[in-house]
Structure 1
Amino acid sequence: MFSFMLWLVLLMLCWPLALLALLLYPVFWLLTLPFRLIGIGVEAIFETLRAIVLLPARVLSGARR
């Protein structure tokens, strides 16, 4: 909602720049999509390694309820 309000202010101040931003946003989103997917994959790998490293401690500590 905040970004929409910011875009409306930009539309009132400088409408060509607002329209350019509106047209370039999907292109920017598509260009950054691979980096976000790589980030999700790297985060999953680190979470898996963390779970493997902490597994013995969780097994030895017993079940907590």
Structure 2
Amino acid sequence: MTKFLLWLLLLVLCWPLALLALILYPIVWLLLLPLRLLGIAVDGVFSLLHAILTLPARLLGGGRSGRDRAATA
């Protein structure tokens, strides 16, 4: 709602710029969509690498603190 009110204010102050923004916004969004998908894929690869590299520590119980170990022993 805030973005719409700001756009209305821009429409009142400078209507050519507001119309240009209204036309260019979907085009810019479409151009940036592949970069967003690439970012999601890279984030997935980093999450997979993190899971693979921390698996031995999690299997050996490296995630527990000292208090937890003392209570279970």
The TM tier, using the shorter chain, reads: 0.7 to 0.9
Q: Counterpart in 1 of 2:7?
A: 7
What number of residue pairs does the alignment pair up?
Answer: 63
- Amino acid in the other structure paired with 2:42: V
Q: Counterpart in 2 of 1:30?
A: 30
Q: Percent identity?
A: 65
**Runs (4+) off by over 2 Å:** none
> What CA deviation, in whole Å up to 9, does each residue of 1:19-63 have, x standing for no partner?
11101111000000111111110010000000111111111118x
Higher relative contact order, chain-length normalized (CA < 8 Å, sep 6+):
1
- Amino acid in the other structure paired with 2:50: R
Q: CA RMSD in A?
A: 1.5
Question: Structure 1 length normalisation: TM-score?
Answer: 0.86
Q: 5+ residue gaps in structure 2?
A: 65-73
Query: Which protein is bigger by CA-based radius of gyration?
Result: 2
Question: Structure 2 length normalisation: TM-score?
Answer: 0.77
Measure the CA separation in 2 of the matches of 1:42 and 1:4. 33
Tell me, yes or no, if structure 1 residue 41 matches structure 2 residue 41: yes
Other structure's SS at 1:61 match: coil
